């Protein structure tokens, strides 16, 4: 049986910002995938924008990896982040295949404003001035929103179109859920030893990730 999760700062913040978390994980676009009413041109827009996002996300995760090697108390932390980086390698290949399947030519896709703003936010988090516990909180939130969203599309009673189940499985599978839990545990452990200022910043960063994720889904409306 799975160990019951210990409640930490992240769960407290999620309770406090529940409606924003729900907005990020149950966006109309996600719900439309689950109920089968999704507009395929929205899906293609999301696909192109997310491909560009993932390319910006790789250096962010690489930065987390470097910091995990230097600043984490436990050697296994680095392995968790390395696993995430490795799956991004597969993810880029997956995007390329999906691009060909759906006729989306990524070389002509231009990052929309919400995407550019999200990338700038990631870049700011890569500064050495930002505490590791804050960076890990952001990292967890970015991954967790996709995990929760796409797992919802695979849940009981879904009418997700067969051609979109690959996308949903990518982030909604149990391995990705376990990986998100591992990242959350690392973040929680770091937050236990964080200063008051870092805790304030981590909560703010969590809220900002959720806002960026909502804005990101919004791009699919075209």
Ligand X SMILES: Cc1ncc(CN)c(N)n1
Active site residues: 213
CB of 2 to ligand X, least distance (A): 23
214 contributes a contact to ligand X by CB under 6 A:
no
Q: Between residues 13 and 29, which has the closer beta carbon with respect to ligand X?
A: 29
Among 53, 132, 139, 179, binds ligand X (CB under 6 A): 53
Among 23, 31, 54, 62, binds ligand X (CB under 6 A): 54
Q: Between residues 58 and 199, which has the closer beta carbon with respect to ligand X?
A: 58
**Block residue for tokens 């407290």:** 12
148 contributes a contact to ligand X by CB under 6 A:
no
CB of 202 to ligand X, least distance (A): 18
| C-alpha triplet 9, 131, 67: angle, nearest 5° | 110
Distance (Å, whole) CA 145 – CA 56: 17
CB of 53 to ligand X, least distance (A): 5
Q: What residue spans of 72-159 are helical by DSSP H?
A: 75-102, 113-125, 132-154
| C-alpha triplet 165, 169, 170: angle, nearest 5° | 120
Q: Kindly calculate the radius of gyration of the chain based on its CA atoms and give it in whole angstroms.
A: 17
The CA-based diameter of the chain, rounded to the nearest angstrom, is 49
**Block residue for tokens 């391995």:** 175
150 contributes a contact to ligand X by CB under 6 A:
no
Q: Between residues 54 and 126, which has the closer beta carbon with respect to ligand X?
A: 54
Element (H, E) at 218: helix 196-218
Helices 75-102, 165-172: axis angle to 10 degrees equals 170
179 contributes a contact to ligand X by CB under 6 A:
no
CB of 201 to ligand X, least distance (A): 20
Among 139, 146, 176, 179, binds ligand X (CB under 6 A): 146
């Amino acid at each position: 049986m799975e160990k019951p999760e210990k409640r930490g700062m992240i769960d407290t913040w999620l309770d406090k910002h529940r409606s924003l978390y729900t907005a990020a994980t149950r966006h109309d676009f996600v719900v439309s995938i689950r109920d089968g009413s999704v507009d395929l041109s929205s899906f293609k827009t999301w696909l192109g924008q997310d491909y560009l996002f993932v390319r910006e996300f790789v250096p962010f995760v690489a930065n987390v990896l470097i910091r995990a090697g230097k600043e984490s108390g436990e050697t296994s932390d680095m392995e968790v982040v390395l696993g995430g980086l490795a799956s991004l390698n597969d993810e880029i290949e997956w995007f390329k295949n999906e691009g060909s399947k759906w006729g989306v030519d990524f070389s002509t896709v231009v990052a929309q404003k919400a995407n550019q703003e999200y990338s700038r936010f990631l870049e700011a988090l890569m500064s050495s001035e930002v505490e590791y516990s804050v960076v890990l909180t952001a990292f967890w939130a970015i991954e967790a929103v996709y995990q929760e969203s796409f797992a919802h599309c695979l849940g009981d009673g879904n009418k997700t179109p067969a051609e979109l189940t690959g996308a949903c499985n990518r982030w909604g599978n149990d391995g990705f859920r376990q990986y998100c839990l591992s990242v959350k545990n690392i973040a929680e452990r770091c937050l236990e030893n964080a200063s008051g200022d870092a805790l304030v910043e981590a909560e703010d960063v969590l809220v900002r990730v959720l806002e960026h994720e909502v804005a990101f889904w919004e791009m699919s409306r075209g």
